[in-house]
Amino acid sequence: MSLKINEYCVACGWCQRRCKNGAIKEGKETYVIDADRCTECIGWYKEPRCVDVCFLSACEPDPDRKESYEELLAKFKKLYPGLTPQAV
């Protein structure tokens, strides 16, 4: 499942700096996650980095974008062809 940023976001930018996929961008009032680039850090880490660093719990699963582990790994491989996933 891709992640989203909820209304608790204060636009501190911690999550954006931790996203290796470049999926987090500054929005109008809060940061937003591009679901097409979010792999929940599959391929890089075992846990989503944005969730780990957000002290307000603003990063959460997006119920509208349910994706299996295999789908997230496939997205990683599409974003980084030829790169071996580091954490699987």
All structural domains of the chain with their residue ranges: 3-79
| pLDDT value at 52 more than 60 | yes
With CA atoms as reference, report the closest residue to 76 among 49, 37, 35. Answer: 37
CATH of domain 3-79: 3.30.70.20
| pLDDT of amino acid 2 | 86
Reported as a pLDDT band with limits 50, 70 and 90, residue 33 is very high
| pLDDT of amino acid 79 | 97
3-class secondary structure, 42: coil
* 19 touches 61 (CB < 8 A): no
Q: What is the pTM of this model?
A: 0.90
| pLDDT of amino acid 21 | 96
